[in-house]
Amino acid sequence: MAGKGIRIEGLKKRYGSGDTAVDALKNVDMQVPPGEVVGLIGPSGSGKTTLLKCLGAVIEPTAGRMTLGDEVIYDDEWKVGDLRALRRDKIGFIFQAPYLIPFLDVTDNVALLPMLAGKSNAESRQRATELLQALDVEHRAKAMPSQISGGEQQRVAIARGLVNRPPVILADEPTAPLDSERALAVIRILNQMARQHETAIIVVTHDEKIIPTFKRIYHIRDGVTYEEAGEGRGFE
Amino acid sequence: MISLAGRDIMHAWGKFVFTGVGLGLLIGVTLSMAGIYRGMVDDGKALLDNSGADIWVVQKETLGPYAEPSSIYDDSWRGIRSMPGVARTANITYLTMQVRHGDRDVRTMVTGITAGGPGTPGWPPYLVAGRHITRGHYEAVADIAGGFKLGDRLRIRRNGYTVVGLTRRMVSSGGDPMIFIPLKDAQEAQFLKDNDAIRQQRRRTAANPAFNRPQVPGLVDSVIASQSTNPYVNAVLVQIEEGHDADGVAESIRRWKRLTVYTRSQMEDILLGKLIATSAKQIAMFLVILSIVSAAIVAFIIYTLTLGKIREIAVLKLIGTRNRTIAAMIMQQAIALGMIGFVVGKITATLLMAPIFPKYVLLEPLDSVRGFVAVVVICILSSIIAIRAALKVDPAEAIGG
């Protein structure tokens, strides 16, 4: 487990400068080993989204250190030249809304990522099909996103997040639009995928329904994280 | 790699095709404008070709007979015919006027041709129906563009004419259909006044003591008789003998006959450079305006389509899509839109606009190729604004917050 997953130490993010500077992240420490799903909980304005953007290499932190697997990706500055390739190959994203590409069918929505990474169309679609099978949406493989239900869309989005087998997945309120049953189903799937693919998954959520399912929870308040043991057993 | 542009187009093909059709109508108008210009040039060349002349002899220091009025004596041809290198000569008159055809007036160029036969300069080189003029008066050969049929009766000034033959593509440089009538009739038509004017002229001549002298009986009648005839034609058309140089023969006529003489290339310069120059500039201006409007519309459409996909573009960037993939998607869509527009425009110009347009529209294949290249270039340039907007999209927008 050591050397894998994601490790964040002393991460800081300041917006602006001088009198108008805002410290969105003051001191964030997190460690998520492969195969584990952790919750990240906090009130509005606590810095959740900023943290997610820093972890996703979308915005640059001000200071701190981030290690992904064995690779230090940030140490007071980016250590990776191509952040877009880093996001494509090593970080999976699952959003609050599925945000599937509306003009691609279900299979191609998932297969697009490996194609962007240079895999052949056949190999990409094969990998997409395997994941769609695992997530029980293979029967909608040729459907367009507008033709499938919200729950199915979210499962396709999960497949997209997993398809490049990234070491870490960032899930931004993935169950918000779902009812209890479907929300729990999504968390169950995330746990299964985390174990199967040795993936570290961070789930940002407000959703009371799923909070009890996490074994570990990170609370964030005023830009500072606190770790707490959760009640959940991660659907083991 | 799948084609993102192609998938997006196929996903919303109706919107895309309708937009392309709208753009195509604009491109159709643009192509038609180019076709109208080509048609004007072709009309001018057809006029020169159909005259069968190698050289035009006109009034001194005029650009006649097409670009300016020209008037020379109708016996000038005899002297010209005797010049070395001249094979045939023929008087010709041109008069653009309204001709009464049934209940309607038709704008035509009435052409007076000298007696002769097919091959005589000025005669229509071929007929599509009927026969050539064989009588000295009141027969006409007319172009079918005027809507004439064999046996139709035309009224030119006070005289009636029967259409005995029909031609095709015999038009003036302005596109008016030509009507060929005997030269004497045409000279009369150019000169003929109404009865009141004739009576008034006779009275004025008789009242002039210089013409009505008591010691010279018959003088006033002679003067009146000379006033009642038209000894002028607009030009003499000349065919040169084989082996002679048109410039050399023209220079010889210029020197000895003290008339202005134009060769074929000089006449073409006058027609294209002077007679239709203003129209050509107007059309060129329209072409520029339409191209700018087309570019603005393509830019606006592509920009709007791109703005409608901001969230998808943010997601694509977040999941690692390269900028060039996104730029290619937008540019390919712009080019596809332009191609649809071009196809629709070409069909519209060829099948809808050209047949019903009142002027001759000549759509040349090379112009279509140029138009296609211009459309593609315009679409590429127009997509730059949308591409800039897309590349500015922050991938963080997909995360929200």
Q: Is residue B370 part of a domain?
A: yes
- Of the candidates B265, B263, B271, B260, the one whose C-alpha atom is nearest the C-alpha of residue B240 is B263
Phi-psi region of B355 (alpha: psi -120 to 50; beta: other; left: phi over 0): alpha
A108-148 pLDDT, tens digit per residue, is: 999 999 998 889 999 999 999 998 998 889 999 999 999 99
Residues sharing a CB contact under 8 Å with residue A137, sequence separation 6 or more, in sequence order: A106, A148, A152, A155, A156, A159
Residue/partner pairs of A182-186 with CB below 8 Å, 24 or more apart: A182/A150, A182/A151, A182/A154, A183/A207, A183/A209, A183/A210, A184/A209, A184/A210, A184/A213, A185/A151, A186/A151, A186/A154, A186/A155, A186/A158
How many Cα atoms occupy the beta-carbon half-sphere of A153 within 13 Å?
20
> Cα(B56)–Cα(B70) distance, rounded to whole angstroms?
11
Residue located via tokens 């010709």: B92
Q: Is B396's CB within 8 Å of A50's CB?
A: no
CATH architecture under which domain A6-104+149-229 falls: 3-Layer(aba) Sandwich (3.40)
Three-state DSSP class for B47? helix
A48-107 pLDDT, tens digit per residue, is: 888 988 998 989 999 999 999 888 999 999 999 889 889 888 898 888 888 899 999 999
The structure tokens listed for A141 are 């493989």
Q: Is residue B62 part of a domain?
A: no
Task: Give me the pLDDT at residue B249, please.
Answer: 95
Residues sharing a CB contact under 8 Å with residue A89, sequence separation 6 or more, in sequence order: A117, A164, A166, B320
> Cα(B242)–Cα(B251) distance, rounded to whole angstroms?
17
Task: State how far Cα B30 lies from the chain centre.
Answer: 16
The structure tokens listed for B258 are 């003290």
Option in A50, A84, A96 nearest B320 (CB):
A84
Q: Is A102's CB within 8 Å of B1's CB?
A: no
The answer for A 171-230 residues in CB contact with B (under 8 A) is 172
The four Cα atoms B112, B116, B117, B121 give a dihedral, to 10 degrees, of -60
Q: Is A58's CB within 8 Å of B399's CB?
A: yes
Q: Is A144's CB within 8 Å of B7's CB?
A: no
Task: Give me the pLDDT at residue A234, please.
Answer: 54
Task: Give me the pLDDT at residue B224, please.
Answer: 87
> Cα(B11)–Cα(B5) distance, rounded to whole angstroms?
10
Going by their DSSP bridges, the two strands B178-182 and A216-221 should be labelled as unpaired
**Sign of the torsion formed by the C-alpha atoms of B251, B257, B259 and B261:** negative
Nearest-Cα distance to chain A for B305, in Å, is 13
Q: Phi then psi for B79, rounded to 5 degrees?
A: -65, -40
Q: Is B318's CB within 8 Å of A93's CB?
A: yes
Q: Is B1's CB within 8 Å of A115's CB?
A: yes
> Cα(B317)–Cα(B397) distance, rounded to whole angstroms?
10
Most confident segment among A15-24, A149-158, A167-176, B147-156: B147-156
Nearest-Cα distance to chain B for A181, in Å, is 24
Question: What are the residues facing B237 on neighbouring strands?
Answer: B56, B90
Question: What are the residues facing A15 on neighbouring strands?
Answer: A22
> How big is the A-B interface in CB pairs under 8 Å?
81
Interface mutation vs chain A, best among B318, B323, B326, B391, most A CBs within 10 Å? B318
Q: Is residue B366 part of a domain?
A: yes
Q: Is residue B286 part of a domain?
A: yes
Domain that holds residue B392: 4-43+278-398
Q: Is A103's CB within 8 Å of B4's CB?
A: yes
Q: A143 in contact with B at a CB cutoff of 8 Å?
A: no
- Of the candidates B51, B57, B118, B122, the one whose C-alpha atom is nearest the C-alpha of residue B86 is B57
Instruction: Label residue A149 exposed, middle or buried (CB < 10 Å: 0-12, 13-18, 19+).
Output: exposed
Q: B79 in contact with A at a CB cutoff of 8 Å?
A: no
Q: Is residue B111 part of a domain?
A: no
Question: What are the residues facing A225 on neighbouring strands?
Answer: A220
pLDDT at A194 over 70: yes
Would you kindly state where each structural domain of chain A is located, as residue ranges? Answer: 6-104+149-229
Nearest-Cα distance to chain B for A216, in Å, is 23
> Cα(B24)–Cα(B66) distance, rounded to whole angstroms?
37
Q: Is there a contact between A88 and A115 (Cβ–Cβ < 8 Å)?
A: no
Task: Give me the pLDDT at residue A1, please.
Answer: 38
Residues sharing a CB contact under 8 Å with residue A57, sequence separation 6 or more, in sequence order: A73, A78, A80, A83, A86, A87, A91
Q: Is residue B25 part of a domain?
A: yes
> How many domains are contained in chain B?
1
Q: Is B315's CB within 8 Å of A104's CB?
A: no
Q: Is residue B394 part of a domain?
A: yes
Option in B7, B320, B398 nearest A103 (CB):
B7
The answer for B 278-337 residues in CB contact with A (under 8 A) is 311-312, 315-322, 325
Three-state DSSP class for B18? helix
Q: Is B320's CB within 8 Å of A96's CB?
A: no
The four Cα atoms B143, B149, B151, B156 give a dihedral, to 10 degrees, of -50
Confidence of residue A2 (pLDDT cuts 50, 70, 90): very low
> Cα(B312)–Cα(B333) distance, rounded to whole angstroms?
15
The structure tokens listed for B358 are 């009142």
Averaged pLDDT score across all residues of chain A:
88
Q: Is residue B392 part of a domain?
A: yes
> Cα(B291)–Cα(B281) distance, rounded to whole angstroms?
15
Residues of A in contact with B319 (CB under 8 A): 87-88, 93, 112-113, 116, 160
> Cα(A92)–Cα(B20) distance, rounded to whole angstroms?
38
Write the CA distances from A215 to A23, A119, A148, B282, B337, integer angstroms. Answer: 29, 36, 32, 78, 53
Residues of A in contact with B7 (CB under 8 A): 103-104, 108
A12-50 pLDDT, tens digit per residue, is: 999 988 888 899 999 899 999 999 999 999 888 888 888
pLDDT at A210 over 90: no
Q: Is B312's CB within 8 Å of A112's CB?
A: no
Q: B369 in contact with A at a CB cutoff of 8 Å?
A: no
Option in A50, A88, A99 nearest B320 (CB):
A88
Three-state DSSP class for B335? helix
pLDDT tens-digit profile, chain B (401 residues): 789 999 999 988 898 889 899 989 999 998 998 899 898 888 888 889 989 999 999 999 999 799 899 999 999 999 999 999 999 999 999 999 999 998 999 999 999 999 988 889 999 999 999 999 999 999 999 999 999 999 999 999 889 999 999 999 899 888 899 999 999 999 988 877 788 888 898 899 989 988 888 888 889 889 888 887 788 999 999 999 999 999 999 999 998 888 999 999 999 999 888 888 888 888 889 888 988 888 888 888 888 888 888 888 998 988 888 899 999 999 999 999 999 999 999 999 999 888 888 888 999 999 999 999 999 998 898 899 999 999 999 888 777 65
Q: In chain A, whose CA is at the least distance from the CA of B319?
A: A88
Task: Give me the pLDDT at residue A236, please.
Answer: 52
SS (HEC) of A160-211: HHHCCCCCEEEEECCCCCCCHHHHHHHHHHHHHHHHHHCCEEEEECCCCCCH
